Chains A and B, each alone.
Chain A
């Protein structure tokens, strides 16, 4: 076991899979010599050569569109979009092309590609770098959307993504890249896509979250326990497909549900989870389902982002509210 940061785990996942499968190639802006703006691909071009770690022209739609053509013709590309706010440039190539080719060709053509992108707030980036846009892709059938919250999951989920025969959008929470270290097995392993992780068991309230807020919610849950409120924390890990079974089981036990996400509230994944739980577990609920999320504004400027993002006081308030019903 090695003690790795998330960025080191991500890098190791790519390196190990590239060693095993020469169909895997990396492409994107600055992924070669520079090793990626966050160094996720550091040293990989030196090791595997320019044909397998390709610096592309500065063109997001081209990165994804070209990856589709590479997939059709035998490769398994891992494309990097430098920051998630830049993914709007690629919406057609992801949502209308990569996600739909299996469907459009009745299974004849498939796109086994991974799109990696750093995302998420709290680290004072310039505008359009921190947006959480996972809901756009939940709404695009044919894609899988995966978000790790720790180094162990990051390695295992990314390996699963690279082995998956569907296009997978792999979103990496920027604040977690170097936030902490964790024991990560040296050999390759898979963490299954589509399976949520119950990171803390509890009896009174279920909180579903993913990405950077997982740590925050765990801390709030510890504080709540001191006050006698037992919070179960679910790290969703996969936005598409959603592991409804784990959520419903938990809600049936706790009878209260809060969803915490960084993305804006309206049309967010939280709304989808709330709707699913009301369809499948309405009569287990003892209180309304609450969401603690970013607000319905564009991602804010650095001085106000701490208050804009879900934070401990807002989550505590939601817990108190569902408990008071």
Chain B
């Protein structure tokens, strides 16, 4: 028989929570690259905080913050090449931006502008997915396509721990593994699916071990240790490019804020738990300590980049706010390649309505 307790369980961690090197296997990255990784973390933390403020001010719509998950997102996306594919959930905005998605468009999306999810032509990033785990199947198919075409591109789908309860997640792992597809299933286990904790989401000890049932490799990594995430992802990408089939990565991390701006986490979460993850296990603090000990950064540098990134983010917000609001008639342009007659008639009806409204406004 199979016993869960017999499964070999490795938790990949390279930096301790105090930012000390625990493991000799840390990736050989140049000082510039280490700093670049840290800068992404700072920029994304500032971005996330800014978006929360914009939502409170009514300048954007519902927003799903990712503070606390920067290492998982940035470390993993940083290990990809430009032509690799990303199929994100709504919380993977940092991973998208690291892969090249313009910040201005991310902000536009949160403002409800259709153009916000119009991925630039040369970028392989799918629009954020709202339906939990649906993107895991798109990623499986995309990866199978790469394999059939003989391309070396890797496809990553990002999702949370809640997604691992969905049928699509299991169907995706299964079909990807049967086809030896170059797909990476990247789970940011942030411990909470809105108000439901991990232990009510799954009875298995880890999410990574679910891979075993599908005949593929699963690996659990400290998702708040950016070097560990980067290294695990780099290895996974290499495995995929070598045609060794898909991998499930579980990055153990924590969502420091609410699920979205629409819920109040104090209703369901223990303050001590939140405090522990924010004060003792924050991914930015850990990496800062590591870099500081290496003599690469200091507080002066930190405040300098914060000032610069705040300006960059403010500029992106201003640019997004300068974009004209979408009009209802635009919605008809993207339903089919060419609108059919009844749809075209509805579009004309909307245009007449808008013209009349405009006329009244000036009158």
A-to-B contact residues, CB < 8 Å: 25, 51, 56-57, 59, 61-62, 64-75, 92-93, 96-97, 101-110, 141-142, 144, 165-166, 194, 241-242, 244-245, 276
Contact = CB atoms under 8 A, between A and B. Distances in A.
Contacts of B175: 56-57, 59, 62, 66
A66 B118 contact: no
Interface residues of B, number: 43
B118 A70 contact: no
Given A59-B175, A92-B134, A96-B134, A69 B143 contact: yes
A245 B345 CA distance: 13
Given A61-B167, A96-B134, A72 B341 contact: no
Given A73-B146, A107-B333, A109-B119, A66 B140 contact: yes
B294 interface: no
B118 A105 contact: yes
Interface in B127-162: 127, 131, 134, 136-146, 148-149, 155
A107 B118 contact: yes
Interface in B78-122: 85, 87, 114-115, 117-119, 121
A106 B114 contact: yes
B1 interface: no
B341 A241 contact: yes
A288 B294 CA distance: 84
A142 B336 contact: yes
A101 B114 CA distance: 12
A68 B127 contact: no
A69 B131 contact: no
> Is the contact region of chain B dominated by helix, strand, or loop, or is it mixed?
helix
Given A62-B175, A106-B114, A242-B342, A142 B143 contact: no
Contact of B334 (A51, A65, A107): A107
Nearest to A144: B336
A241 B343 contact: yes
A62 B172 contact: yes
A245 B126 contact: no
A78 to B, nearest CB: 14
A51 B138 contact: no
Nearest to A55: B178
Given A110-B337, A242-B342, A69 B140 contact: yes
Given A141-B335, A241-B343, A74 B149 contact: yes
Given A61-B167, A142-B335, A51 B174 contact: no
A70 B141 contact: yes
B321 interface: no
A97 B131 contact: yes
Nearest to B171: A62
Of B121, B141, B143, B341, which is in contact with the most chain A CB atoms at under 10 Å from its CB? B141
Given A65-B137, A142-B335, A70 B131 contact: no
Of A66, A69, A93, which is in contact with the most chain B CB atoms at under 10 Å from its CB? A69
Given A65-B171, A72-B138, A144-B336, 14 more contacts: A61-B168, A73-B149, A92-B168, A93-B137, A93-B168, A105-B127, A106-B114, A107-B118, A108-B119, A109-B119, A165-B337, A166-B337, A244-B342, A276-B342
B340 interface: yes
A119 to B, nearest CB: 23
Contacts of B141: 65-73
Contacts of A245: 341
Contacts of B335: 102-103, 141-142
A103 B334 CA distance: 5
28 contacts: A59-B175, A61-B167, A62-B140, A62-B171, A62-B175, A65-B138, A65-B168, A65-B171, A69-B142, A70-B142, A73-B149, A75-B145, A93-B134, A96-B134, A97-B131, A97-B134, A102-B337, A105-B118, A105-B127, A105-B334, A108-B117, A109-B119, A142-B335, A144-B336, A166-B337, A241-B340, A244-B341, A245-B341
Contact of B171 (A51, A61, A69): A61
A196 B127 CA distance: 36
A61 B137 contact: yes
A245 B140 CA distance: 42
Contacts of A64: 137
Contact of A105 (B117, B144, B148): B117
Contacts of A72: 126, 138, 141-142, 145
A90 to B, nearest CB: 10
Nearest to B138: A69
Contacts of A242: 342
Contacts of A69: 87, 137-145, 155
Contact of A73 (B134, B136, B142, B334): B142
B171 A57 contact: yes
Contacts of B115: 106
Q: Which 5 interchain pairs have the tightest Cβ spacing?
A: A69-B141, A65-B137, A73-B145, A241-B340, A66-B141
A188 to B, nearest CB: 21
